[in-house]
Amino acid sequence: MSRIICIIGNKGGTGKTTLSHMLCQGLGLLGQRSACVLTDTSREPLSPDGRRYVTADARTPEALHKVVGKLRTMDGWLGVIDGGGNRSEMDRMLNGLADIVLLPFRDSHEDLRTVLRDLDAFPHAYALPSQWPTNAWARDAADRSVAQILGAHRDRLLHPVASLSASKLLLQKSIPDGLPSNVGNACRALARQVLEVLEIGDNAPREPQTTEQAERSASPPPTVLPEGYASTAHH
């Protein structure tokens, strides 16, 4: 049976569409089959050419029902639904369809207040820091704001997705033949933590690691929230 992942939230501009494509690209890189499902009527469908996932146009209720119904029959697939922003009724409907809900938010108090309300409205959702600052000082300030405002929900906070200008390449009508390695790494990292929450193992082949590589991979990346705020809970 397939799983449905919905990326929703009342705040616009948090990167839901970018994250949807990053997650699907990362799932493909990890050997998972996935579909990126468009529901936002203000956007146009993107070509699946060159991507490691398929795309689906579900901008009408009828099309969404058909796509989700089809996905549910496709064993082992993951459907990632881009819910768009500022659509409370759509968010409630998608929450009812989803196996897991992601609520992206940026480094702003407005976003933090909005995602706090969304976490209360969707008690099984996970908050996902998006476009997170990479400058050490800015990142420290952002992490402290998260700890202050979202500390009560620390078990529902995922690791941040860092601000990465090259991620916009995934939103081109047709993506380039080769994507920068940092985009691939970010996509894999996002996909791995979602698979961990869903308790699904990835199918990517593992390269033998040197001692130095193993130590480096065991250390938290610089954009991870302070220990105790990154979720280790399973769905």
Instruction: Please report, for the chain, the start and end positions of each structural domain, with discontinuous segments joined by +.
Output: 3-218
**Tokens matching residue 47:** 């070509």
Q: Rounded distance, CA 109 to CA 118, Å?
A: 14
Q: Rounded distance, CA 132 to CA 105, Å?
A: 9
- What is the full per-residue pLDDT of the chain (235 aa) written as tens digits? 699 999 999 888 999 999 999 999 999 999 999 999 999 988 999 999 889 999 999 999 999 999 999 999 999 999 999 997 778 899 999 999 999 999 999 999 999 999 999 999 999 999 999 999 999 999 999 999 999 999 999 999 999 999 999 999 999 998 988 899 999 999 999 999 999 999 987 666 555 444 444 433 333 333 334 454 444 445 5
Q: Rounded distance, CA 130 to CA 190, Å?
A: 11
Fold of 3-218: Rossmann fold (3.40.50)
pTM exceeds 0.95, yes or no: no
Strand order across the 3-7 sheet: 54-57, 33-38, 77-82, 3-7, 100-105, 126-129
